Amino acid sequence: SAVISQKPSRDICQRGTSLTIQCQVDSQVTMMFWYRQQPGQSLTLIATANQGSEATYESGFVIDKFPISRPNLTFSTLTVSNMSPEDSSIYLCSVEDFPLAGGFQETQYFGPGTRLLVL
Amino acid sequence: QKEVEQNSGPLSVPEGAIASLNCTYSDRGSQSFFWYRQYSGKSPELIMSIYSNGDKEDGRFTAQLNKASQYVSLLIRDSQPSDSATYLCAVIGGIYNQGGKLIFGQGTELSVKP
């Protein structure tokens, strides 16, 4: 499976500021995803980051608040803008993988996450 | 109705017992099904994937899929204290879920008592 790293692993930020989270994969992948996990909750998809095109955002998430870049097939960034305490969450990137050569059965692996606390 | 539902926890089993985790999904066109294990403070770790009806075994883990009933389960045999974690059921694909995104259930917390 792909090896995924995220930076930073954690941060404490002041409200009104922005934080950019980086996601790096050790192999080229077509689809990368950004998820949010609020305290005590399950994971919710923020957006799908596609190389060469704008990210696709889920209902409730907007580009002005969560701008995403995908400059190549191994890297993506998520920015959390104008932060408030409600943005305190774990932010996770994931990548799509097809374990079987030539197969269509997909799976997804997650990076280690970025733990964000907004004061 | 939630898209993916899991039986509410926490689930407590004694060491050595079988832990049974259940999940139902609402989109009949869903194609890919996953179980992730998440330890506290860690990111989800994929432990099982299943794509066709029936059982799939991997070591102490068995995933079961019944598309007609829209039901997927995870059995953990010979449960160990190290299996104590939150187990997340996730689904890809379907009429209402395009583009490869995972839809997660709320998770079931499993506690294995020594």
- The model's pLDDT over B96-109, given as tens digits with 9 standing for 90+, comes to 666 678 899 999 99
Interface-testing mutation among B2, B30, B102, B109, with chain A (most A C-beta atoms within 10 A)? B102
Q: Is residue B50 left, alpha or beta, with left meaning phi > 0 and alpha meaning psi from -120 to 50?
A: beta
Q: Among positive and negative, which fits the CA dihedral A45, A78, A90, B73? A: positive
- The single residue listed with the structure tokens 């994931």 is A94
Residues of A in contact with B105 (CB under 8 A): 42
Min Cα separation A43/chain B (Å): 6
Give the model's confidence band at A100: pLDDT under 50 very low, under 70 low, under 90 confident, else very high.
low
- The model's pLDDT over B43-98, given as tens digits with 9 standing for 90+, comes to 999 999 999 999 999 999 999 999 999 999 999 999 999 999 999 999 987 666 66
Interface membership of A43 toward B (CB under 8 Å): yes
Highest mean pLDDT among A15-19, A39-43, A48-52: A15-19
Q: How far apart, in whole angstroms, are the C-alpha atoms of residue B105 and residue B35? A: 10
The residue ranking higher by pLDDT, B72 or A100, is B72
The residue ranking higher by pLDDT, A107 or B75, is B75
Interface-testing mutation among A43, A53, A57, with chain B (most B C-beta atoms within 10 A)? A43
Length of chain A (residues): 119
Q: What percent of chain A has pLDDT over 90?
A: 80
Residues of B in contact with A111 (CB under 8 A): 43
